[in-house]
Amino acid sequence: MPSTQTDYPAFAVTVDLVVFTLRGGELNVLLVTRGEAPFAGQPALPGGFVQPSENLDAAARRELTEETSVHEVGGHLEQLGSYGDPDRDPRQRVVTVAYLALAPDLPEPVAGTDAAAAFWLPVAKAIELPLAFDHAQILADALERARAKLEYTNLATAFCPAEFTVSDLREVYEAIWGHPLDPRNFHRKLTGTAGLLIDSGKVRRDGPGRPATVFRAGPTTTLNPPITREP
Amino acid sequence: MPSTQTDYPAFAVTVDLVVFTLRGGELNVLLVTRGEAPFAGQPALPGGFVQPSENLDAAARRELTEETSVHEVGGHLEQLGSYGDPDRDPRQRVVTVAYLALAPDLPEPVAGTDAAAAFWLPVAKAIELPLAFDHAQILADALERARAKLEYTNLATAFCPAEFTVSDLREVYEAIWGHPLDPRNFHRKLTGTAGLLIDSGKVRRDGPGRPATVFRAGPTTTLNPPITREP
DNA sequence: TCAATAGTGTCTGTAAGACAGTATTGT
DNA sequence: ACAATACTGTCTTACAGACACTATTGA
């Protein structure tokens, strides 16, 4: 019996975003307040249906733009994984493809846009909230992914603007791992990895203290050997 | 306007499997020959539609059982990622969730079962084949994932039966990374990682040479620091 | 006895972690 | 001057990589 165009179960496919940023030295995640059932009024990850003509990455990037009102978010966007338990949405069968997005400090969501219902919340608080659907699990997985990738990639630069100092990077690590790092050894490790950081020639003065060299991200994206998380 | 059960694009959702095993010291992947259009007669990864009542992991495990005719495959099964380009299937919009499965040496597919069209092929050959859909990309991603995870996990044990020797493990690494490792340093590294290997008390005699201690996988699943791939 | 494989010891170079010390700023 | 931050040097320890050496087997 040949298969036809209809002899398969129909699914809805969505993308959900875990957008991390640093605000005031603390890791924050973008949440929305749901306006409709199910879970009306509850916090959730931003996301939406994949459109017929776009691929998954494009859907994620479109949602990111819509929800943040920022056109070129920069930073980093990668697929995290898919979640498709039969009862994860009580209305219908939905498979969601979760994405992890990392962004430099973004403006507050703007009223009068799709992003009006969106808000930043420190991750420490978000993981204690009863998020809609299975979003608590997705957030937990995203956090672990981000923590793990800091160890062996230059992912921390995605949280910074194009030009940054070694201290900026260290603060990213400290915020995400939740414990302080030795500034001297950290500096030696990062500046000692060839191709990771490019000296911009500039320096930055912030209050007292010796001015810091300003770098840009270089072609090297992996740290070998990695920085270990355990202190 | 409230959303209804129908105001979303309908997708088909499938799972595709990249099943790796070791046969004769060589990494092999399970392929099927497609019987229907599109890509009829071409090799493809095994897979199928997700059923309405099962979650993604269950669908992957079901397909694995069906395609290999082996009930408890053991080994390892993890989600690799999702692929959903609008034109990846010419018939309809299909999102596939790819899984990576690692198994000890499995029997040849049995005629008269769903697995009849399935066959093992060395990965080195498979990556040169024009696989159906975007399966070449999925296979490449799976291979890279497996190679990377050997560095910092005990994933190699998934290719071995419950009891194995250090040499067995080393052969897994050599097959997947494609270059020899120093048996002495490898032995010291693995036996020196606490909780990774449990001495079964037995030894194994294979031809000439001192008998090898037989181990089982221990509770430790990560290697820290990792084994580096570069020779 | 010899070849083969398992496992140990030892050396060298690299780099992490700890921390003293120097450099350069704002106040 | 002083506090604060950026950076450099030095010491110790851990471990990878190289490889000589011992242990235990089949032929």
Q: Which residues of A touch B35 (CB under 8 A)?
A: none
- Residue whose structure tokens are 């890509």: B39
Rounded CA–C1' distance between A191 and C26, in angstroms: 26
Mean pLDDT within A85-104: 96
Per-residue DSSP letters for A88-139?
SSSSS-EEEEEEEEE-S--PPPPTTSGGGGEEEEEHHHHTTS--STTHHHHH
Do A106 and A190 have their domain in common?
no
What is the number of CB-based contacts under 8 A between chain A and chain B? 94
pLDDT > 90 fraction of chain B, expressed in percent and rounded: 80
Q: Which nucleotides of C are covered by protein (CB under 7 A)?
A: 3-10, 15-21, 23-27
Q: Could you tell me if B98 and B142 are in contact, meaning their C-beta atoms sit under 8 angstroms apart?
A: yes
> Does pLDDT of B219 surpass 70?
yes
Do B116 and B188 have their domain in common?
no
Do B17 and B75 have their domain in common?
yes
Coil, helix or strand at residue A187: helix
Residue B6 inside a domain? The answer is no
Indicate the Cα dihedral angle B51, B57, B62, B65, nearest 10°.
160
> Does pLDDT of B181 surpass 50?
yes
- Reported confidence tier of residue A3, pLDDT bands at 50, 70, 90: very low
Coil, helix or strand at residue B103: strand
Do A19 and A115 have their domain in common?
yes
Do B86 and B133 have their domain in common?
yes
Do A73 and A169 have their domain in common?
no
- Residue whose structure tokens are 């919340």: A121
Q: Could you tell me if A137 and A180 are in contact, meaning their C-beta atoms sit under 8 angstroms apart?
A: no
Do A50 and A78 have their domain in common?
yes
Domain with residue A182: its CATH number is 1.10.10.10
**Tens digit of pLDDT for each residue in B43-80?**
999 999 999 999 999 999 999 999 887 766 678 999 99
Question: How many folded domains does chain B comprise?
Answer: 2
Verify whether the Cβ–Cβ distance A84 to B50 is below 8 Å.
yes
Domain with residue A57: its CATH number is 3.90.79.10
Do A128 and A172 have their domain in common?
no
Residue B18 inside a domain? The answer is yes
Q: Which of A5, A6, A11, A230 is best to mutate for the B interface (most B CBs within 10 A)? A: A11
Instruction: Show which of A148, A172, A203 is a domain's final residue.
Output: A148
Cis check: omega of the bond before B9, within 30 degrees of 0: no
Domain that includes residue B100, residue range? 12-151
Q: Which of B5, B16, B53, B95 is best to mutate for the A interface (most A CBs within 10 A)? A: B95
